[in-house]
A and B are shown apart, each in its own frame.
Chain A
Amino acid sequence: MIKAELILKAQQGEKEAYIELIQIHQRTVEKFAFQCGVHSNDLADVSQEVFVKLYRFLHQFKQDRFTTWLYKITLNATRDYYRKEQRQQAKEQKLHAQPQRTSSSSAEEFMLLFEEDRLLHHAIQALDEKYRYPLILYYFHELKYEEIAEVLNISLSTVKVRLLRAKEKLKVALMQEGSVENG
Chain B
Amino acid sequence: MDDKQFEKRMVLLKKSYDRMDTQLDPNKVLQQIDEEKATHNTQVIQKNPVKRQKASVWLVSIASVLLLGILGTSYMIQQPEELSNSEQQIMQEKQEEQQKTYRDWANELTEKYEHQKEEIRKELMVSLDELNAFSYIQNIENEFNNYTNNRSAERITAEMAENLQRMEDSLLEKLTTPRRVFEAIDGKKPLTFEESYKIYDLYEQPAIQLESFYSGLLEPYEHLLKKKVPSSQYPLELQTIIETASEQGMELSINDNGSYAFKANPINGAFAFEEAKYLHPDSLGYFEYSQKGYLVMDKDDVRYSLEETLEILTSFERALLADKNPGSRYYYMLRDRFEYTWTALLKGTPKHPALLADGTINKDYITFLQQLADGKHSKVVKQIAATILQELAQQQTSTTRDGLAAYDIWQALLQAKGEKAGFRNYDTFHFSYMDEAEAVRIDKLYQQYREGGKETLLNQLSPIDMVALYLYAIMVGDHALQQALVIPNTVIDTSRFNHLDNLTAISQLGESNVPHKYPLVSVRMKEDSNDKAVIIKLMKNNNGHNRIIGIAD
Interface residues of A (CB under 8 A from B): 15, 18-19, 22-23, 26-27, 29-31, 34-35, 43-44, 47-49, 51-53, 55-57, 59-60, 62, 72-73, 76-77, 79-80, 83, 111-114, 116-117, 120-121, 139-140, 150, 153, 167, 170-171, 174-175, 178
Contacts and interface: CB of A to CB of B under 8 A. Distances in A.
Contacts of B189: none
11 contacts: A19-B27, A44-B25, A52-B32, A52-B36, A55-B33, A59-B78, A76-B90, A80-B86, A112-B16, A117-B16, A153-B97
Contacts of B6: 167, 170-171, 174
Contacts of B23: 30, 43-44, 47
Contact of B26 (A19, A30, A170): A19
A98 B28 CA distance: 34
A48 B32 contact: yes
B159 to A, nearest CB: 6
B87 interface: yes
Interface stretch (B7-15, B243-251, B290-298, B334-342): B7-15
Interface in B441-496: none
Interface in B93-107: 93-94, 96-97, 100
Contacts of A43: 23-24
Given A31-B20, A140-B13, A174-B1, A51 B90 contact: no
Interface size class of B (residues with CB under 8 A): 35 or more
Best-buried of B9, B13, B85, B161 by chain A (most CB within 10 Å): B13
Given A48-B29, A51-B26, A112-B16, A80 B85 contact: yes
Given A26-B24, A60-B159, A153-B93, A53 B17 contact: no
Given A48-B24, A55-B33, A153-B93, 9 more contacts: A23-B26, A30-B24, A57-B90, A73-B86, A112-B13, A112-B16, A113-B16, A140-B10, A140-B17
Contacts of A77: 86
A22 B17 contact: no
A35 to B, nearest CB: 7
Interface in B143-171: 159, 161
B30 interface: yes
A23 B12 CA distance: 25
**Residue from B24, B25, B33, B75 with most neighbouring chain A CB atoms (10 Å):** B24
A111 B20 contact: yes
A62 B13 contact: no
Interface string B30-42: 1011001000000
Contacts of B94: 60
B1 A171 contact: yes
Contacts of A116: 9, 12
B20 A30 contact: yes
Interface of B: 1, 6, 9-10, 12-14, 16-18, 20, 22-30, 32-33, 36, 75, 78, 84-87, 89-90, 93-94, 96-97, 100, 159, 161
Q: Which 7 A-B pairs have the closest CB atoms?
A: A44-B23, A22-B26, A47-B24, A76-B86, A51-B29, A117-B16, A80-B86
Contacts of A49: 86
Given A30-B22, A31-B20, A60-B159, A22 B29 contact: yes
Contacts of A22: 24, 26, 29
Contacts of B90: 53, 57, 72-73, 76
A44 B93 CA distance: 25
Contacts of B16: 112-114, 117
Nearest to A155: B100
A23 B9 CA distance: 29
Nearest to A140: B14
A50 B30 CA distance: 12
B101 to A, nearest CB: 10
Q: Decide if the interface of chain B is mainly helix, strand, loop or mixed.
A: helix
Contacts of B96: 153
A139 B96 CA distance: 26
Contacts of A26: 22, 24, 26
Nearest to A59: B78
B28 A27 contact: no
A60 B75 contact: yes
B17 A34 contact: yes
A139 to B, nearest CB: 5
A74 to B, nearest CB: 10
Nearest to B161: A62
A152 to B, nearest CB: 10
A140 B18 CA distance: 9
A109 B17 CA distance: 12
B29 A55 contact: yes
Given A26-B22, A170-B6, A72 B29 contact: no
A26 B177 CA distance: 56
A12 B267 CA distance: 51
A113 B7 CA distance: 19
A27 B22 contact: yes
Nearest to A83: B85
A49 to B, nearest CB: 8
Contacts of B14: 139-140
Contacts of A117: 12-13, 16
A31 B17 contact: yes
Contacts of A29: 24
Contacts of B12: 114, 116-117
A170 B9 CA distance: 11
B84 to A, nearest CB: 7
A116 B30 CA distance: 38
A52 B13 contact: no
A57 B32 CA distance: 15
B159 A27 contact: no
A161 B27 CA distance: 41
A121 B13 contact: yes
Contacts of A59: 78
Nearest to B85: A80
A52 B9 contact: no
Kindly name the residue among A35, A43, A56, A62 whose own CB sees the greatest number of chain B CB atoms within 10 A: A56
A60 B18 CA distance: 30
A35 B17 contact: yes
A76 B1 contact: no
B188 to A, nearest CB: 31
